[in-house]
Amino acid sequence: MHDDGRYDDPRVTGAGGRSSGDPVSRETERWPVNGDSSDPSVRPENCDPVVRRDTPVVGGVRPTSSVPANLPPTREAQEPTGRPANAAAPRPLPVRGNAAAAARYEPPTGGMGAAVPQQPSPRAVPDATPVPALPSDTPSVAGYGAEPDASTYVSRETPTREEDDPPLAMEAMRAVQILNPSGEVTMPRPERTRVMCVANQKGGVGKTTTTVNLAVALALHGNRVLVVDLDPQGNASTGLNVPHHTGVPDVYDCLIDSVPLAEVAQAVEGIPNLWCVPATIDLAGAEIELVSVVARESRLARAIAAYPGHFDYVFIDCPPSLGLLTVNALVAAQEVLIPIQCEYYALEGLNQLINNINLVRQHLNPQLEVSTILLTMYDRRTRLADAVEQDVRNHFGDKVLQAVIPRNVRVSEAPSYGQSVMTYDPGSRGATSYFEAAQEIAERGVKEPVSRNA
């Protein structure tokens, strides 16, 4: 041992000293301080880049380092495992080049300046199985050449079929179809005026929403439509953005004071061919006042018949009751449209509504009939919705529209902006469903023309 703490190692000096099997202290790896080593060959400035045995293989070539070749190897070099006996062996790194040649290759252990042979070879997998090289024009992915065939790689942004349009394009096409900016008559117009009463004694089944959206859909496609808001809540007037505050002429004046309907009807802003007769809170007392009026059940029918203009459709939005207001709507109408929510409670009171319609037909309006059933708030995630749909279709048959209105948040948001879903979000599922329902109603009216009740 020298004064500076170094051992004479026979693997370096080739002379006597400790045996080659003796471990070497870690202290032998430190560099001389301030260049005071007695051996100038171990100074850093005199060292050539060589390869250490314990240096990992990267890219098929062992990287060089500035460690002199005549220094003794570290303890890790003599004991390459460096782990307990019971520890799992580390996973071997992938080796580039021929695996067999790499296994036989030993880096040079000669003196300083020994050249390191390069090993350019095809890529090999860790299991030592040679992989045929890909053609030169095959693109590599993440720097690896042995990848699947490039022709089978499809990006997530690439449509699987060229003829399929992206969802945004489909939504835009539906919006243009529903809004009909050209103003052409795309839905058939009936030969006579169709007066439809939207009634259901249960509240919250979508009577007002159905009335507003069907009226807007028909008006956008060339039909002249009048909406009569007969509900004291005035929700249909709100959905069409028609003023209905106290003091505005409304349907109450027509029923009680016999004001002509033409003086009360207001044109709906932004929707051509659409008019609305609003309802104010005054209508809440109309049922009590109508008790003593002569021919109280036919007051609305006379007002509609006296209107000087011509309409293709007249929709009457009824309150959720079977009082005199609903009876007036049933007497004035020729057809009854019943929205049915796809839940059990909606079916519970349907029998009583049908009985009242039959009574009106027998005594007041022989031409009244239930022509249309529309399923609303359909939730396809529940079995109950399917069961209700099957029961309704089995009972009413062809009167049930094929179009079904699903639960859609856009339908609920539209009234808060004073719009229907047809103009609020024409590309939504709710708008598309109501458009299909309106088109089906229009086509049925042409196939089976309904005569107007004088």
pLDDT digits (tens, 9 = 90+) for 227-262: 999 999 999 999 999 998 888 899 999 999 889 999
When pLDDT is cut at 50, 70 and 90, the band that residue 177 belongs to is confident
For the cut 60, the answer to whether the pLDDT of residue 320 exceeds it is yes
Residue showing tokens 């992938």: 94
Burial (Cβ within 10 Å: 0-12, 13-18, ≥19) of residue 394: exposed
When pLDDT is cut at 50, 70 and 90, the band that residue 70 belongs to is low
* Low-confidence winner among 30-34, 37-41, 157-161 (lowest mean pLDDT): 157-161
The answer for residues whose C-beta is within 8 angstroms of residue 169's C-beta and 6 or more apart is none
Q: Rounded distance, CA 253 to CA 391, Å? A: 41
Could you tell me if residue 104 is inside a domain?
no
Give whole-number Cα distances, 373 to 208, 297, 331, 390, 412, in Å.
15, 24, 19, 13, 21
Sheet harboring 266-267: ordered strands across?
266-267, 274-277, 225-229, 313-317, 194-198, 335-341, 369-376
pLDDT at residue 183, rounded to an integer: 78
pLDDT at residue 246, rounded to an integer: 83
Tell me the pLDDT of the chain averaged across its residues: 76
The answer for residues whose C-beta is within 8 angstroms of residue 439's C-beta and 6 or more apart is 187, 217
Structural domain total, the chain? 1
Could you tell me if residue 221 is inside a domain?
yes
For the cut 70, the answer to whether the pLDDT of residue 89 exceeds it is no
Helices of type H across 49-111: 75-78, 99-104
Q: Which residue has the higher pLDDT, 77 or 428?
A: 428
pLDDT digits (tens, 9 = 90+) for 91-120: 555 544 444 444 454 554 544 444 545 555
We report the CATH number of the domain holding residue 273 as 3.40.50.300
Could you tell me if residue 179 is inside a domain?
no
Could you tell me if residue 218 is inside a domain?
yes
pLDDT at residue 43, rounded to an integer: 56
Q: Rounded distance, CA 38 to CA 46, Å? A: 13
pLDDT at residue 18, rounded to an integer: 47
Q: Are strands 369-376 and 225-229 parallel, antiparallel or unpaired?
A: unpaired
Burial (Cβ within 10 Å: 0-12, 13-18, ≥19) of residue 339: buried
pLDDT at residue 410, rounded to an integer: 93
pLDDT at residue 58, rounded to an integer: 53
* Low-confidence winner among 49-53, 169-173, 425-429 (lowest mean pLDDT): 49-53
Q: How far is CA 209 from the centre of its chain?
A: 23
* Low-confidence winner among 134-143, 242-251, 420-429 (lowest mean pLDDT): 134-143
Could you tell me if residue 297 is inside a domain?
yes
For the cut 70, the answer to whether the pLDDT of residue 356 exceeds it is yes
Could you tell me if residue 238 is inside a domain?
yes
Residue showing tokens 């003829």: 163
pLDDT digits (tens, 9 = 90+) for 373-397: 999 999 988 899 999 999 999 999 9
Could you tell me if residue 123 is inside a domain?
no
pLDDT at residue 29, rounded to an integer: 47
Cβ-contact 58, 102 below 8 angstroms? no
Could you tell me if residue 32 is inside a domain?
no
Q: Which residue has the higher pLDDT, 206 or 72?
A: 206
What average pLDDT does range 278-282 have in this prediction?
91
For the cut 90, the answer to whether the pLDDT of residue 215 exceeds it is yes
Secondary structure of residue 381 in the 3-state scheme: coil
Q: Which domain holds residue 250?
A: 191-447
pLDDT at residue 345, rounded to an integer: 84
